[in-house]
Amino acid sequence: MSFVNKSVNTRAAVVWEDRWVRFRMALKVRGVEAGRHDYYRGWILKWLGLIKPKSFRQGTEDDLRKFLMQMVGEGKKDWQLRQADEALRVFYQDVQPVAWAKNWPEDAVEEVARRGGGVRRLATDEAAEVPRPPTEGRRTRDFSGREDTGELPGKYANFVESVQECLRTERYSYRTEQTYLDWVRRFLIFARPGNRRELSWREVVGYLDYLTLKRRVSNSTLNQALSALQFLFGRVLKKPVGGAEGVKRPVASRAVPTVLTREEVGSLFGEMEGKGLLMAKLMYGAGLRVMECVRLRIKDLDFGNRYIVVRGGKGDKDRRAPLPEVLVGELKGHMKGVREQWEKDAALGVEGVFLPDALALKYPNAEKEWGWYWVFPAGGLSADPWSKKIRRHHIGVNGLQQLVKRAARRAGLTKPVSPHTLRHSFATHMLEAGADIRTVQELLGHSDVSTTMIYTHVLGRPGSVAASPLDGMQAFGSGIS
């Protein structure tokens, strides 16, 4: 009998040890310093002592309020109430989720403080090193002295790191991660909170007003900032997003795409040479986005079947794109030089190339194989932002964008030209040549045909620009020459 009890106790200890590990991980994600984790665990143990003989799963919101009232009766300070409240929130939302904790009673601490001895200003367990902004407690459009640029104070470094960890846990792309982190940094510089507990959605509303009224950003930029801050509050801080201080997402404008004529495409190519010219031809000939082009790997080019496999395109979707016949010889010649670079990297002991989705663990040697090497490798080695290994990355996007823009200026093109203009031109010229719009949709990787329909502005197609009535005035002798 004693052996059975010992086994049960051992299993229970293992289960709780696992819970404590997950509890510490959840605290870290929320930005709680490691040195405070034991204090948070202590509140959970105190809570378990209160609700016995009930199971911790049977704890309720009423029990939470009783627990906080008991702490007030014991003379606990306000910051201790807040700390205990947060410990229970983390435990019941992230470690052992229960239904009632999804909508955490935000007013519990304030209510208990009032009932326990008058309304008091609820301090936190961290000193507010930075003075509160003048807009605290109310929505205002007075942005004097408030900016979102400059250097991020060092006190926020650990919090930003916890946001980055959460983004990677949610499997966001690296580019999205960097964009969201940039908005979080800007928001922290603007809001200047004393600590993470002081962040409220009201500050988000004020920041979005600032972006709209003072910086006059576009709707697409405002949408990007809103998405980043919704992630911050909903996934990292686990706080309500919106509510009475909700924000209506602005409708992004939809501009008519810039399309070059075939003659203009030829003029653009005439001002380019080398690797940049080859990449521009590939984007136009296969309808590739600029990131899809620079991320191409050797194995993605199927010369036998004359197609390109575009992997992890927009929306993380794979597709096939046509491999232009006229580029086959040029690409094969280019790849001879690339193979020489690959062999040099192997001889130097370079760590190989980056592999997505933990494929490096599944296929340990794949990162050094020829098939996984970049079609357009960078000229130098750099540190992998994920593993910190020194690798050869693909060529940068910014350099290609500037190359195309400079070539457009030399060619005398007055249209705003970027690498993406070549993709627009591919779609339009395909439709002009009689391709079915569903085929073009598939080649472009659009999830909805309505996105592809924007290219039907070409002449002779539904939705195209009709002839001007002024052009028909000549027949009536109106003096139009």
Name the active-site residue from 320, 405, 420, 461.
Answer: 420
Name the active-site residue from 311, 314, 389, 406.
Answer: 314
Q: Is 423 considered catalytic here?
A: yes
- Which tokens hold the place of 149? 């640029």
Q: Is 289 considered catalytic here?
A: yes
Q: Is 420 considered catalytic here?
A: yes
Name the active-site residue from 289, 295, 392, 424.
Answer: 289
Q: Is 455 considered catalytic here?
A: yes
Name the active-site residue from 196, 238, 394, 423.
Answer: 423
Name the active-site residue from 92, 156, 284, 455.
Answer: 455
Name the active-site residue from 89, 319, 391, 446.
Answer: 446
Would you name the residues annotated as active-site residues? Answer: 289, 314, 420, 423, 446, 455
